[in-house]
Amino acid sequence: MRLIRDSLFVNPGDRGAVAAIGNFDGVHLGHISVIDRSREIAVELGAPLGVLTFEPHPREYFAPDAPPFRLMNATARAHRLEKLGVEKLYELPFNKTLSQLSAQEFASQIISQRLGLKHVIVGEDFRFGKGRDGDVDALRAFGEEMGFGVTIAPLLDLGQTEVSSTAIRDALSEGRPRDAAAMLGHWHRIEGEVIRGDQRGRELGYPTANMSIAGLHPPKFGVYVVLASVLSGPHKGLYHGAASIGIKPTFGENTPNCETFLFDFKGDLYGAPMSVALVDYLRPEESFDSLEALITQMDADCAKARDILSELPRHHV
């Protein structure tokens, strides 16, 4: 997959794609349906499959002090889009210049002139341009005027639940990772580099791989059953495990992070890129009166996690 971040200097070979446009936070089933439709059109037109998105998320740009809401960072989003067969990822910097473009200017300067997109696909609730003044009808009109095709994809729902990033955040906030996965079409993952912690887990017999969750919507604090993928390096592979997400109340710490214990693993993961998939929620965070009580509970958590993971269908692993 080609990652294009500069719309001013686009190689001729990166122009002419069929591209889905949106923020694609979480890359959930609704997003996937838009990309699937884009793929069909790309095949029909003999064009590359692309996605046009923005970094940071416009909501982060306009409200930088608001609580974290993103389901995934840009790297995790790119990994997920690549798995879906996206060939061109146009990840444009969302800055003052871009935010000030009117809907017509965005269509003319970005879609038509700079990227030369052949066809664009958006959801029916798509809004664009300064003040979100452009809608799907405006996009269609601009496409006819400027020479690019436009397809509007309907919103997706699962029975009584409309698939949306908001609904997925709600499920995660309530400790329902399987409900989130049903809307995502994949496990919700926390992805990033393994960072050095206080090494207290090692002393307890439970060495953990620590990852920051800064900038991400925090799932309900507590202990989870997880599938962890080490993405590169000598320990690359898939591992079963249990993770604690939260602030470690027993030790009086207050910076939320994700600490993952990998079953039957020995090795150093510091600096390694890792992706931790939340499978099930076991229990809330607790404060323990003694280290012995904490270790006893961790033993029970890991035993239960092993049982749950042993029952997963192979294709889910």
Q: What is the dihedral of CA 187, 188, 192, 194, to 10 degrees?
A: -70
Give pTM, 2 decimals. Answer: 0.91
Same domain, 14 and 110: yes
**What is the model's pLDDT at position 25?**
96
Same domain, 122 and 257: no
CA angle, 292 then 295 then 296, to 5° = 85
Please check whether residue 38 is in contact with residue 121, taking contact to mean a CB–CB distance below 8 angstroms.
yes
The answer to whether residue 137 is domain-embedded is yes
Phi-psi region of 85 (alpha: psi -120 to 50; beta: other; left: phi over 0): left
Same domain, 103 and 37: yes
Same domain, 206 and 115: no
Same domain, 251 and 146: no
The answer to whether residue 238 is domain-embedded is yes
For residues 51-78, b (16+ Cβ closer than 10 Å) or e, as one string? bbbbbbbeebbeeeeeeebbbbbbebbb
Asked which of 131, 155, 179 is the last residue of a domain, the reply is 155
Same domain, 194 and 148: no
In total, how many domains does the chain have? 2
Please check whether residue 72 is in contact with residue 26, taking contact to mean a CB–CB distance below 8 angstroms.
yes
Same domain, 140 and 215: no
The answer to whether residue 8 is domain-embedded is yes
Query: What is the Cα–Cα distance from 120 to 136, expressed in whole angstroms?
Result: 11
The answer to whether residue 160 is domain-embedded is no
The answer to whether residue 135 is domain-embedded is yes
Same domain, 13 and 151: yes
Give the CA count within 13 Å in the CB-facing half-sphere of 125: 8
Same domain, 116 and 228: no
Same domain, 223 and 292: yes
| Domain range enclosing 293 | 188-316
Q: Is 292 a catalytic residue?
A: no
The pLDDT tens digits along the chain (317 residues) read 999 999 999 999 999 999 999 999 999 999 999 999 999 999 999 999 999 999 999 999 999 999 999 999 999 999 999 999 999 999 999 999 999 999 999 999 999 999 999 999 999 999 999 999 999 999 999 999 999 999 999 887 766 667 899 999 999 999 999 999 999 999 999 999 999 876 666 667 788 999 999 999 999 999 999 999 999 999 999 999 999 999 876 565 668 999 999 999 999 999 999 999 999 999 999 888 888 999 999 999 999 999 999 998 865 55
**What is the model's pLDDT at position 155?**
81
For 258, list phi and psi in degrees, rounded to 5: -120, 120
CA angle, 69 then 72 then 78, to 5° = 145
Same domain, 141 and 203: no
The answer to whether residue 182 is domain-embedded is no
**What is the model's pLDDT at position 160?**
61
Asked which of 132, 155, 178 is the last residue of a domain, the reply is 155
Among the listed residues 259, 285, 286, 292, the single catalytic one is 259
- Bridge-partner residues for 262, per DSSP? 241
The CATH number assigned to the domain holding 246 equals 2.40.30.30
The answer to whether residue 232 is domain-embedded is yes
Asked which of 98, 132, 155 is the last residue of a domain, the reply is 155
The CATH number assigned to the domain holding 99 equals 3.40.50.620
**Contacts (Cβ under 8 Å, ≥6 apart) of 290:** none
The answer to whether residue 43 is domain-embedded is yes
Same domain, 145 and 274: no
